[in-house]
Amino acid sequence: MNWLFPLSKGSGPLPPLSSLQQQRQRQIESLKAAHASLAEIQKDVEYRIPFTVNNSTINVNILLPPQFPQEKPVVSVYPPVGHHLVDGNNGTMITSPLITNFGMHSDLGKVIQSLLDEFWKSPPALMSTGSAGFPYSMYKPSGIAPYPTQAFHYGPRHMGPSQAPPPGPSAVPSPAPHPGVDGAHGPPRAPAPYGLLSDLPLPVPTGDSQAGLNGHMYKMPEIPESFPELCDMNLTHLSDMSENEDLLLEFFVSLPQLKQVTDDKEELVTSIVDMAKKNLQMEPQLEGKRQEMLYKYEQLTHMKSAFETKMQRQHELSEVSGCTRNTMIIGEQPLIAC
């Protein structure tokens, strides 16, 4: 049935990685090897490293531009902090010479480790954001649009003789762009040929399972190498399906694997909506807690100022008392005649 599904097999060898893509992968591998707590936010594009100083957790966010390592990485922190390595205007962008002077021969893993070592030696001070929400979406610095996913092609590490090679890059749907992102970072993508296929969860995992940010593993349904339903069809029906996209789409819609993915997606969307409603219901309570915390912080500031004033007064009185005691001791000593 290869004439019916020309993209299922025989797609040809995958194009090799370019020199820039190979260097990018080496930098990412160096980053992963140097930091065990590294979290992958977007594959080959965005990473995050949490660390704790003075009982406060600070996240170091690393964005890799499309032409990285020719382009410098964008490194930021959240929440905003005061530090000599961080921009004083917003308290998030790291302006260390290690980042501004980053080049093709720099080691990203060692550069980030040097920044963390400096934060340990000189702990940053948290800055007040002045609002209840996050100052920028998804820990991204304001004014920086998310980078598109790099079009890297990876072949399977272990492939048996009976396994078919993965489909080419044209057969894999591209991730849908964020509504707030313009087309400055890449060419506009053509819409999906079928309205139903555009509703599928994107990006489609390339393996049996995919881990989310919370460690949840989604088990993809097993895709058979052949469809028994096609064996019961005659040649005329198969020819009609090959020429008529509506018939082909109708056949795919009836597949149990697609139904399972669609049902799982609807269930996930429902749970996300319920969670969002619960979060909105807790917003007044969180706002009240925030105001209470700000009031207690203001009280703490006043008490600290009063304490420092009293400590200064006590220090002055101690000096006066010491001088008076010394004067009295000197006055009580008898004079010795020569």
Residue 93 CB: number of other CB atoms within 10 A?
Answer: 19
Angle at 173 between CA 163 and CA 186, to 5 degrees: 130
Return d(Cα 25, Cα 13) in angstroms, integer: 20
Structure tokens that stand for 300 in this block: 């703490």
**Domain ranges in the chain?**
19-139
Sequence letter at residue 312: Q
Taking 60 as the threshold, does the pLDDT of residue 182 lie above it? no
> What fold is seen in the domain 19-139?
Ubiquitin Conjugating Enzyme (3.10.110)
The answer to whether residue 307 scores a pLDDT higher than 90 is yes
Q: What is the pLDDT of residues 107-132, one digit of tens each?
A: 888 888 888 888 888 888 887 654 43
Whether residue 322 is predicted with pLDDT greater than 60 in this model: the reply is yes
Tell me, what's the pLDDT at 296? 92
Beta carbons of 213 and 174 less than 8 angstroms apart: no
Q: Is 290:132 a contact under the CB 8 Å cutoff? A: yes
Q: Model confidence at 300, in pLDDT bands (50, 70, 90)? A: very high
Residues 6 or more apart in contact with residue 73 via CB below 8 angstroms: 62, 63, 64, 65, 99, 102, 108
Q: Alpha-carbon distance 83 to 94, whole Å?
A: 9
